[in-house]
Amino acid sequence: MQWLGVRHTFEIIAMRPADRLEMFNRLRAANPNPTTELNYTTPFELLVSVVLSAQATDVGVNKATARLYPIANTPETIFALGEEGLIPYINTIGLFRSKAKHLIGLCAMLIEKHNSQVPSDRTSLEALPGVGRKTANVILNTIFKQPTMAVDTHIFRLGNRTGLAPGKTVLDVEKKLLKNIPKAFLIDAHHWLILHGRYVCQARKPKCHECIINDLCEYSGK
């Protein structure tokens, strides 16, 4: 079995409940106030940044929005740029043309249907152009403090590798994370897991020797 660049064949063993609790106690102790690495000052800025982050790095998105947000950081001002006016600010990011189209449509819908405010419910969020389940989960969790789990490649890999939430699909892993993570940790869990997956539990060369949950992890390749 191969999980996202991990070239080891192994049987996934589910992590024990006591180990899950200890895992999150350690992650919280190491980083009591985790947050996204995307730069933003308003819910709308975060929404735009998350839409831009698809198949792009947070660093790349932050560089683009550092140019964009001083000029346009509301639905009205970005909509006024239009697709061609927006592209020069985001053309260093992958899929910038389709993202520009989505963002202009997103701004139009926010203005027309939501009084230019970012909605706080999943149905409304996922109806916006360029917004899928993962993006909606990020907004619901980070802005509205709802216990959601935005499963990206890092969290998918970590959930399977550690045994925290084994699953064959993104939705499988999301549902198991929501079930397996102790409730006291659910609000911040998304940020702890994505940071741990990004910097420690990496795809090809996981830094198991640096990992604070090494002894709890079920990964057979460590």
Residues identified as active-site:
134, 152
HEC per residue, the chain: CCECCECCCCCCCCCCHHHHHHHHHHHHHHCCCCCCCCCCCCHHHHHHHHHHCCCCCHHHHHHHHHHHCCCCCCHHHHHHHHHHHHHHHHCCCCCHHHHHHHHHHHHHHHHHHCCCCCCCCHHHHHCCCCCCHHHHHHHHHHCCCCCCCCCCHHHHHHHHHHCCCCCCCHHHHHHHHHHHCCHHHHHHHHHHHHHHHHHCCCCCCCCHHHCCCHHHCCCCCC
